[in-house]
Amino acid sequence: MTKKFFFIILLILGLILTVYLITQTTIFRSRADSTNSHLPVKENSYIFASPIQAKADGQEKIRVTVFLLDSNGLGVNQQNVTLQTPSALQIETLQSVTDDLGKATFNLSSTIPGKYTISASTSSLTLNQKINLLFL
């Protein structure tokens, strides 16, 4: 009788736990979804490069990535990003329209050595942050 009673209690606890877990809604998704209609915010958006220097041989490239984020820190998709660069730099656009994470990606190269300042913008904003790249 004790085993039967113990089994019934475990069965009831298992059912209660199952019902609880089924009724709880947990959604896992990326930082942005395809319905994010918010606008990017200057203060949350940023630009970075890796590496920050390369040979000025026209072959070595520096990857520039721009993230456009809304006021909640979520990526804003479907935004066309442009880079403001000196004419000595060649831009290879890998993805100028932001994805669901708010990311746009470019490769830069140069045949002219120098230090170059790069900024990014959309039709509605220019990022406050600028990056410096060095081509040797």
CATH number for the domain that contains residue 98: 2.60.40.10
Number of domains in the chain: 1
Total-model pTM? 0.72
Supply the range of the domain harboring residue 76.
1-136
Chunked into runs of 10 residues, the chain (136 residues) has average pLDDT values of 79 80 60 61 93 95 96 94 95 96 96 96 93 96
- In the chain, beta strands by DSSP E: 46-50, 53-54, 62-67, 82-84, 89-95, 103-110, 114-121, 131-135
